Amino acid sequence: MRSRQNRPTLAEIKATWPPAVDVTTAALAFGMSRSKAYDLIARGEFPAKVARYGRRLVVITESVVRALSAGD
């Protein structure tokens, strides 16, 4: 796992991330804390698609790429 100071680039996300990642990893891509990410998810405001697998939440990588690309 990366340190908080090393936000992944869009190119790194596209090249190396699996189809879905944990919330903490996705939060890092958006420059937010894990707790902020879970707060946004609870309010339905997280900037990427979140899926629930049993009790586990994952974030769909393609939706992270789309959200981060929207600013380009």
Residue 35 inside a domain? The answer is yes
**What's the pLDDT at 32?**
96
pTM of the model: 0.87
Residue 5 inside a domain? The answer is no
Q: What is the tally of structural domains in the chain?
A: 1
Sheet holding 50-53, edge to edge: 20-22, 56-60, 50-53
Residue 21 inside a domain? The answer is yes
The CATH number for 14's domain is 1.10.10
How far is the C-alpha of 67 from the C-alpha of 30, rounded, in Å? 9
pLDDT, tens digit (0-9, with 9 covering 90-100), for 19-56: 999 999 999 999 999 999 999 999 999 999 999 989 99
Residue 2 inside a domain? The answer is no
Q: Could you tell me the two tokens for 11?
A: 């190119």
From residue 67, alpha-carbon distances to 5, 24, 53, 55 in Å are 20, 16, 22, 25
Residue 48 inside a domain? The answer is yes
Residue 24 inside a domain? The answer is yes
Domain of residue 64 covers 10-69
Placement of tokens 């789309």 in the chain: 66
